[in-house]
Structure 1
Amino acid sequence: MASQPIDRRSTAGNMSDEDLVNLVRTSHDPVFFEALYQRYVSKVYRKCLTMTTNPEQAEDLTQDVFMKVHRNIGRFKGQSRFSTWLYAITHHHVVDELQNQLPSVRLEPQTWANLQVTEDASAPSKDEQWIQVQEVLKKLSDTDREIILMRYEEGLSIEEISERSQMGISAVKMRLSRSRTKLKKIIEEMESS
C-alpha cells in the first residue's frame, strides 16, 4: 500500500510560527517561509500603510520587510514571539525609509490634530502644525521618538512597547515619562519664542 503524499502547504499553514521558523532555517523549503508570509503579509502591509499613508509605498515596504526577514531569519533568537520580531523589523524599516525622505512624512491626523487649539485667525494651518510636530519629534532621540510614536500613534500598551523594544516595563515607563517631559519643554520653548 502506497503512502499518501503529504500536502506541505496545508501542514505548514497549521504550524506554529516558531515551528515554521525552525523549518525555514533547517530545510530551506520555500513552502514554510511562504506560510509565514501568508500569515503576516496583510498585517505588515497595514502597519506600513498606517505609517506612510501611501498604498504603493506600503506595498514596496512590505516586500522589503519580508526580504529582510528572509535574509535575517537566522538571527531570530526566539526570546520574543516571531510576530513581535517581525513587527519590530517592520517598524524600524519604515522609520528608516521615512527618515530618508523626511519632507513627505505625515503623522496620523487623529493623533496630532490638537497640537494647537486656538481661535486666532493667525493660528498655524494643519500643514504648518504637521511641520511643527515633525520638528518637535526630531529633537528627541530615536528611541524616545519611537516610544512616543508607539504609545500615542499606534496606541500600544506599556507591555507591548516593552516587548517590541526589548526593554523592561519600568524602563519603558521611565523613558515615556522623560520623553513626555522633554516634549512639553520643547513645545513650551517654541511657544515662548
Structure 2
Amino acid sequence: MYDEILDVAETLFMQQGYQATSTRQIADTLGITQPNLYYYFKKKEEIYYHVMLRLATEVSGNLERMSSNNEQPFEEKIRNMVYYLQQRHPFNLFMMLHDIQHTLSPDIADKLFVLWTTSYKKPFIELLTESKLQLRSNIDPEFAVSQLFISISSYFRSPQKEGQIDRAIDLFLYGILDE
C-alpha cells in the first residue's frame, strides 16, 4: 500500500500542486479511508516529501547515467537530460518550487531544497564542470544551470513544444550574440 499511496499522490501533486491536493482525495482515489492513509503517513507534508524523495532518487540516477554517456557529445547530453526531465515531469517546475518555498514547513522545505540541488541540478553542474568545453571565465556552473532550468521550465507542460525547448537550449549554450 505504501508504494500505491506514493504513486497516486505523485500523480495528484504533479497535476494539481501541493495545496490543491488533499489527503482525502488521495485516500478516495485509492479507495481507502483517511485513517488507513494516516497509518502509513502522519500528514500530507510527509507524503509529499516521500514522493519527492522517491522521484529525486530516480531522476538523479537517470541524469547521472545520461551525463556519463561518453558516446554522446556534450550538447546531445544536455538535450537528452532536458527531454528526460520534460517527460518525467509534465508539470510546472515553478509551481513545485513555489509549493516548497511557501507552503511547506521550513524543515521539509530545506530537505526538499537539498534533494532538488543534489538530484536535479548536480548532474547538470557536473556535466558543465567536467566537460572539456571552456566556459567563459565569469560563468559559474551553478548559476548557469539555474538559468537553464528557468529557461526550460515553462515548456515542461507542453510536450508539443519540443522545438521551443531546443531553441531555449541553443540560447543557453550559445547566447544571443553573433560573434
Normalising by structure 2, we get a TM-score of: 0.33
Q: Which has the larger radius of gyration?
A: 1
Structure with the greater relative contact order (CA < 8 A, sep ≥ 6): 1 or 2? 2
TM-score calculated relative to the size of structure 1: 0.32
